[in-house]
Amino acid sequence: MTCGQRMRSEFRLKSFGLTHNDRQVFSRTPWLDKNNLLPFVLYRAAVCLYQVITFSIIHGALGDFPLKGLVYLTEWGYILLTLHTILSVSLCFADYYKSRFQRGATSNDNMASDIAMATGSTITLTTTGYGTAQTSVGQDSGQTLPLPWYYKLYWVLYNVSFAGGICITILFWVLLRGDYSALSIITHAINSVTIVIDVMVSGLPCRLLHFVYPLTFGLVYILFTVIYWAAGGRGLYDYPFIYPYLDYGGRPVLAAIVAVLGVLVAVPLCHCVVFALVVARESLVRLLKRRRQSPNSQNDNVTAL
Examine the pLDDT at 51 and tell me if it is beyond 90. yes
What does the pLDDT average to over 63-68?
62
- Mean residue pLDDT across the chain: 83
pLDDT bin (cut points 50, 70, 90) of residue 61 is: low
Angular region, 238: left φ>0, alpha ψ -120 to 50, beta rest: left
- How far is it, in rounded angstroms, from Cα 295 to Cα 297? 5
pLDDT bin (cut points 50, 70, 90) of residue 121 is: very low
Examine the pLDDT at 109 and tell me if it is beyond 70. no
What does the pLDDT average to over 186-214?
95
What does the pLDDT average to over 247-275?
95
Identify the weakest region by mean pLDDT among 42-51, 67-76, 129-138, 258-267. 129-138
Report whether 178 contacts 172 (CB < 8 A).
Answer: yes
Examine the pLDDT at 152 and tell me if it is beyond 80. yes
Identify the weakest region by mean pLDDT among 50-64, 84-98, 161-175, 271-285. 50-64
Examine the pLDDT at 139 and tell me if it is beyond 90. no
Residue among 255, 84, 27, 268 at smallest CA distance from 166 = 268
Q: Tally the C-alpha atoms within 13 A of residue 139's C-alpha that lie toward its C-beta.
A: 2
Looking at residue 269, its amino acid is: L
pTM for the model = 0.82
Report whether 89 contacts 40 (CB < 8 A).
Answer: no
